[in-house]
Structure 1
Amino acid sequence: MSLEYPDNLRYVDTHEYVGLAADVATIGVSAFAVDQLGDIVFVELPEVGDTLVKGSAFGSIESVKAVEDLKAPISGKVIDRNDKAIDAPEIISTDPYTAGWLLKIQVADTSELDGTFSATEYRVKVEGA
């Protein structure tokens, strides 16, 4: 099965993605993570105003199979969160990149994205293709 990884996003080992527009990053989980988790039934996200530190847990995502920590792919201050994903976590499963985003953060240092994966690199890493 071929999963979608939009080219305009960057990806990390823990399967979160980052979409950067100026100094605002949109964070979510990749289609690969969704595929591995199965049906997502619950998501816990930080509050607007909270600060994320790259590599640290900022919430959790729960499926019928597992509960996983969400790890910050970049540091910054939460300026928006997707309450629709909290209320109806299945949108993360059906549309992880558009309707199923998780957070928008004001980025502290965009150079933290150095070392993240392009869509092609991420596909090779997770699918071996």
Structure 2
Amino acid sequence: MAVPQDLFYAKTHEWVDLNDGIATVGITDFAQNQLSDLTFAELPEVGTEFKAGEEAAVVESVKAAADIYAPVAGEVIEINERLEDNPELVNKDPFGEGWLFKLKMVDESDVDDMMDADSYEELCPND
């Protein structure tokens, strides 16, 4: 299971890459592995505002559908449009090409409530 050290993690298995007040959000390697082959991603509309913890997206796989939560508060400024035709990018590259959406954060200190890589690894059961 890959857990990049430079990201922030939510207990609900989302990750955040923070860059100048912009939070790129995706699901972790653990989450995509549990879901199996993704077949669909319903992403939020650009301009939608979320509070931390609010449902922001849904991904569907051959196994199940899963809600994706906004790990930080902010306004959606971009979605990964490639996922419309290629949801499997989340399985192939969850921390790269498989990102879901970007938020202009309300308060960068929201990440203070998230886990670092070591804490997230402890949360995940070993396969």
TM-score scaled by length of structure 1:
0.94
Q: Residue 56 of structure 1: which of 54, 57, 66 is its match? A: 54
Q: Which amino acid aligns with 2:20?
A: A
**Percent of aligned positions with the same letter in both sequences?**
40
Q: Which residue of 2 aligns with 1:24?
A: 22
Determine helix, strand or coil for the equivalent of 2:119: helix
Residue type matched to 1:43 in 2?
Answer: A
Give the match's secondary structure for 2:47.
coil
- The correspondence of residues 27-106 of structure 1 with structure 2, limited to 5 A, is 27-106=25-104
What RMSD, in angstroms, separates the aligned Cα atoms of the two structures?
1.3
2:2 to 1, 4, 29: 4
**Aligned partner of residue 106 in structure 1, secondary structure:** strand
Looking at structure 2, the residues matched to 37 and 117 of structure 1 have their Cα atoms a distance apart, in angstroms, of 22
Q: Shift of residue 90 of structure 1? A: 0.3
Which 5+ residue runs of structure 1 have no aligned equivalent? none
Could you tell me how far 1:86 is from its partner in structure 2? 2.1
Q: What is the Cα deviation at residue 115 of structure 1?
A: 2.2
- AA matched with 1:112: D
Q: What is the CA–CA distance in structure 2 between the aligned matches of 1:122 and 1:16, rounded to whole Å?
A: 10
Unpaired runs of 5+ residues, structure 2, are none
Moved over 4 A (4+): none
How many residue pairs get aligned? The number is: 127
Deviation of 1:127 after TM superposition, in Å, equals 3.2
Taking the aligned partners of 1:107 and 1:85, their CA distance within structure 2 comes to 23
Q: Which residue of 1 aligns with 2:120?
A: 122
Normalized against structure 2, the TM-score is what?
Answer: 0.96
